[in-house]
């Protein structure tokens, strides 16, 4: 029979290790890029606990200069007291201003993921907030934007993900286009097999592989209904994506964008339990 004192000591050690673990939230997209309009990402970070948490941020992106994967040195945001927030108007610019993006990439459009680390003993995931808004100037003033949150990097994603996406007109009020993105939530690279099915018939319209998606990388496919493999007039599609590496975890999102205003609506792909 195991010594009860040993068992108690082991429980205390394991409990202590769990209690002091950092909370890691991954934000799926942070960007500063000139597309149809100029897009950039603001961040609001919140500490909803009753204690102070130390906050650090890392940006991971594929270099537009040479295609290499880059993860910045930590941007140390310092100690965030209980029930306080941090705000960054342009997250990419903050990394640039801090000299944390290498010179070869600093003058180029950037598109990546952000890892927000909360360091405090006993902190819970539900007490840690990372809220992003990717936005652009609106015609006539103001901005258009989409908002989304950072997710627990240890639990987000699954081997297979799915979504229903739409393209086309909304009566006489305008038309939209659809972008989709995939994030590798795992710790090693993977290919991602993707299938598009016609939402009206269930027939496969296109099957392809997004190759060599690195850990923490986001890959976005723009205006997917405009691909030559998709028959003209297709209005809805079922999208299914699967990590090819055993035990791999991916997540995904779709953005439905107004063709005139570039205003977007963001939603996550469904994930396996």
Query: What pLDDT, in 10s, does the model give residues 182-196?
Result: 999 999 999 999 999
Residue 11 has pLDDT above 70, yes or no: no
Looking at every residue in the chain, the average pLDDT score rounds to: 91
The pLDDT of residue 20 is above 60: no
| pTM for this entry | 0.89
Cα separations (Å) of 267 from 76, 149, 199, 270? 30, 11, 18, 9
Q: How far is CA 5 from CA 59, 235, 236, in A?
A: 45, 65, 62
Residue 222 or 20, more confident: 222
Helix (H, G, I), strand (E, B) or coil at 173: coil
Check whether 27 has a pLDDT greater than 90.
Answer: yes
Please report the pLDDT score of residue 19 as a whole number. 44
Which CATH architecture is the domain 22-152 placed in? Sandwich (2.60)
Give the gyration radius of the chain's Cα atoms.
Answer: 21
Taking the C-alpha atoms of residue 237 and residue 72, their distance in angstroms, rounded to an integer, is: 37
The number of beta carbons lying within 10 Å of the beta carbon of residue 108 is 12
Closest CA to 131 of 109, 119, 146, 142: 146
Same fold, 22-152 and 160-271: yes
Task: Check whether 169 has a pLDDT greater than 90.
Answer: no
| In CATH, 160-271 is 2.60.290.11 | yes
CA-wise closest residue to 116 among 218, 214, 30: 30
Q: What is the pLDDT of residues 233-242, one digit of tens each?
A: 999 999 999 9
Q: Which helix (H) or strand (E) holds 5?
A: helix 4-19
The tens digit of pLDDT for each residue in 43-81 reads 999 999 999 999 999 999 999 999 999 999 999 999 999
Whether pLDDT at 10 is above 70? no
What CA–CA distance (Å, rounded) separates 23 from 120?
8
Q: How far apart are CA 204 and CA 231, in angstroms?
A: 11
pLDDT number for residue 175: 83
Could you state, in order of their start, the residue ranges of all structural domains in the chain?
A: 22-152, 160-271
Lowest mean pLDDT among 10-14, 117-121, 158-162: 10-14
Going from the C-alpha of 101 to that of each of 63, 92, 112, the distances in angstroms are 10, 9, 12
Q: What percent of the chain has pLDDT over 90?
A: 81
For 12-28, what is the mean pLDDT? Answer: 67
CA distance 98 to 91: 11
């Amino acid at each position: 029979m195991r010594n009860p004192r040993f068992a108690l000591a082991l429980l205390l050690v394991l409990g202590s290790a769990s209690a002091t673990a950092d909370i890691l939230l991954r934000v799926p997209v942070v960007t500063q890029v000139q597309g149809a309009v100029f897009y950039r990402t603001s961040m609001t970070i919140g500490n909803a606990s009753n204690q102070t948490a130390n906050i650090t941020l890392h940006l991971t992106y594929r270099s537009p200069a040479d295609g290499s994967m880059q993860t910045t040195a930590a941007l140390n945001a310092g100690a965030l007291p209980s029930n306080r927030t941090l705000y960054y108007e342009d997250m990419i610019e903050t990394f640039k201003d801090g000299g944390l993006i290498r010179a070869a990439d600093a003058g180029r459009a950037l598109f990546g993921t952000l890892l927000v680390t909360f360091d405090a003993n006993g902190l819970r995931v539900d007490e840690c907030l990372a809220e992003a808004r990717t936005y652009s100037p609106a015609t006539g003033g103001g901005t258009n934007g989409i908002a989304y949150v950072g997710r627990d990097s240890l639990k987000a994603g699954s081997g297979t993900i799915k979504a229903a996406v739409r393209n086309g007109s909304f009566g006489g009020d305008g038309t939209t286009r659809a972008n989709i993105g995939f994030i590798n939530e795992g710790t090693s690279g993977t290919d991602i097999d993707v299938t598009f099915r016609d939402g009206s018939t269930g027939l496969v319209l296109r099957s392809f592989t997004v190759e060599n998606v690195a850990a923490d990388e986001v890959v976005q496919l723009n205006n997917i209904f405009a691909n030559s493999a998709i028959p003209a007039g297709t209005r809805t599609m079922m999208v299914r994506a699967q990590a090819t590496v055993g035990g791999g975890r991916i997540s995904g999102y779709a953005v439905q964008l107004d063709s005139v205003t570039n205003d977007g609506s963001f939603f996550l792909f469904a994930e396996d339990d």
